[in-house]
Amino acid sequence: MERETNIIDRNEGRRLIQEATYRQVGNLRKTQSFDAELIIRGKLYDFSVGRVMGILNATPDSFYSSSRCQDAAEACRRAGAMLEAGADILDIGGCSTRPGASLPSAEEEIERLRPVLEAIREKYPDAVISVDTFRSKVARECAERWQVDIINDISGGLFDPEMAPTVAETGCGYVLMHTRGLPDDMATRTDYADGVVAGVLRETAFRVDEFRQAGVCNIIIDPGFGFAKTIEQNYELLDRLDAFKIFDAPILAGVSRKSMIWRPLGISPEEALPGTTALGMASLMKGASILRVHDVEAAIQTVKVFRLLQASTERQENVIDIISREDFAER
């Protein structure tokens, strides 16, 4: 009972800290753009510079076999390597959602996550941890027992109506991903009457509104590459990724080693790192704030190169602005 009380106190404290911080920056939000910032661990976390989320799967059947690590010691080793390489967030999942995968029960999913989260949280207490789940029961357990910071939900709350109030109560950040249908039938649900970009924006808007109405402040938008989209639609969505800035929230791009890369190239997921790196840079240039990847070191290099390019662009814009003002003054 004492342990349960402590857990409740910690989560209530985190919620109160978040509310207080939002009040403090509320006046600034009236005049400045904060579309790439969230509050994590009571602090304003800047996503405008590009962040990397490393993938760890406590599953036996995730589509990319090298991401699987059911052994706690191995998961801890990989987490340490990702953090050392520069990962900003660790995304840990206990349920594969690839087509044809066998879905575990909520209890089995928690049991898969338990040793991995316990080991990582004990060794890396300050790590920002996301748990990849579409179940509110799993989300609550992970938030209360292992103080995960973010819930990454591939269904955007569609699979579990209790997800929105659960996330609001725990004070966690929330990755709201767009999808249609279940993993086994989403490939047949790719008909968007007004085009994929307009359709995904419209459907995402309904989900965002529901979560914000429930009191969820820290939302990250994921367009859901590969989920209820054809290969062509994935690229159309990536080309218009900047349209998702309308939600005034960080944008996550999850394209790592997905079939939109390896299938048209006639290769395997294991051979898709160069393509992943290319799409990572394209995502950043189109407005992504977070790259969710299997290969952290490569993604960190991509982000660093993007920042160099971004800085150069800003310098050139400043020079052009100065020249324009001087030219105007002379006239």
Taken in order of first residue, the domains within the chain and their CATH numbers are 2-330 (3.20.20.20)
Contact between 135 and 141 under an 8 Å Cβ cutoff? The reply is: no
Strand order through the sheet with 51-57? 219-222, 173-177, 150-153, 129-132, 89-93, 51-57, 290-293, 252-253
Question: Among candidates 62, 76, 116, 122, which has minimal Cα distance to 294?
Answer: 62
Number of Cβ atoms within 10 Å of the Cβ of 266: 7
What's residue 1's pLDDT? Answer: 46
What's residue 35's pLDDT? Answer: 58
For residue 241, the SS3 value is helix
Q: How far is CA 12 from CA 19, 24, 35, 143, in A?
A: 11, 19, 25, 11
The pair phi, psi for residue 219, each rounded to 5°, is -105, 135
Per the annotation, the verdict on 292 as an active-site residue is yes
Taking 70 as the pLDDT cut, the residues of the chain under it are: 1-35, 61-70, 99-101, 317-331
What's residue 27's pLDDT? Answer: 35
* Annotated catalytic residue, options 121, 140, 258, 286: 258
* Annotated catalytic residue, options 43, 292, 315, 331: 292
What's residue 327's pLDDT? Answer: 60
Alpha helices in the chain (DSSP H): 2-29, 72-85, 106-123, 136-146, 163-170, 196-213, 231-239, 259-265, 273-285, 296-330
Residue type, 146: W
Number of Cβ atoms within 10 Å of the Cβ of 123: 13
CA pair distance 90, 78, nearest whole angstrom: 10
Contact between 203 and 223 under an 8 Å Cβ cutoff? The reply is: no
Per the annotation, the verdict on 41 as an active-site residue is no
List of residues 6+ apart from 309 with CB closer than 8 A: 285
Rg (CA), the chain: 20
